[in-house]
Amino acid sequence: MLRSATSTRTVPVPSASAVLELLKPITWFPPMWAFGCGVVSSGAAFDQRWLFVLGGIALAGPFVCGTSQAVNDWFDRHVDAINEPDRPIPSGRIPGRWGLGVALAGTLLSLALAAMLGIWVLAAAVVGLALAWAYSAPPFRLKTSGWAGPAAVGLTYEGLSWFTGASVMAGGLPPAQVMAILLLYSTGAFGIMVLNDFKAIEGDRITGLKSLPVTLGVGRAARLACLVMAGAQVVVIGLLGVWGHGLSALIVCGLLLGQLLLMARLLKDPARFAPWYNATGVTLFVLGMLASALGLGGHI
């Protein structure tokens, strides 16, 4: 009697360096910066909350943001196989379904860490992770929309991270003034995300992604991005002034004037100067976030 032999293939375990590349550490800085702004804006003393702060930094960066990168790479693996074959998943350095496993494990670990930091932090993490999956995964694929995609990323990177920092320090829901400013900077971040889409206009056209540079055209998309970024900061300046944070308002005003000068060059050739503006004007934008947070927290 002959027995049919079955062969099983063992999927190799990916290296730590490949997993780290999948999580894209370079993308962790914006949400960690926004978390720091949230901490500062609370005005609370660190005292016995150092562990909460460190946990929140890890949550905003390696955990939630890192997980979102893994989710995105998993659902974009077929496109990356054409455009970026050296990425960890299409290159085979993250073999089999390990990419999905990393994304699921990151989601569960993020929720566990958030639960230890407080109910409002957990709520923010749930929203952020839901948006991360909806951004990349079908049936939602928010990234295919030039409106919903940048809005989701701006809210997650800036607003929810700021909210988390303020909640960690306050031990509860942040005050209304903090909520208003973080929502305004989330709105401004929409413009930053639109400018970020300029680096992949041709690829978006080919793959059917309806980014605003594709649907509106380069010039109109750039003008919209500038208007949203500047408009949000004008409202921030006005609110800070009304609330008695005059020095913060003046600093943000000065930083906005610098951005307007840089925007003038950006608009001359948006496709060429978008990366340059992301390295210059966006830096002034995030410094304004910190100045606003210092005012709200009573530090200046």
CA distance 87 to 257: 39
With the C-alpha atoms ordered 111, 115, 117, 120, is the resulting torsion angle positive or negative? positive
Whole-number pLDDT of residue 9: 64
The DSSP string of 166-226 is HHHHHTSPPPHHHHHHHHHHHHHHHHHHHHHGGGGHHHHHHHT-B-HHHHT-HHHHHHHHH
Q: What is the pLDDT of residues 30-89, one digit of tens each?
A: 999 999 999 999 999 888 889 999 999 999 999 999 999 999 999 999 888 887 899 999
Is the pLDDT at 1 greater than 80? The verdict is no
The domains of the chain are located at: 16-173, 175-300
For the entire predicted model, the pTM comes to 0.93
Mean pLDDT of the chain: 93
CA 273/CA 264 separation, integer angstroms = 10
In this prediction, what percent of the chain has a pLDDT beyond 90? 85
Phi then psi for 145, rounded to 5 degrees?
-105, 130
Task: Give the pLDDT band of residue 2 (cuts 50, 70, 90).
Answer: very low
CATH of the domain spanning 16-173: 1.10.357.140
* pLDDT in the model for residue 4: 42
State residue 100's pLDDT score: 98
pLDDT for 21 beyond 90: yes
Distance separating alpha carbons of residues 19 and 42, to the nearest angstrom: 34
- For residue 3, what are the CA distances in angstroms to 6, 8, 9, 10? 9, 16, 19, 22
Q: Does residue 10 carry a pLDDT above 80?
A: no
Q: What are the pLDDT digits (tens) for 253-283?
A: 999 999 999 999 999 999 999 999 999 999 9
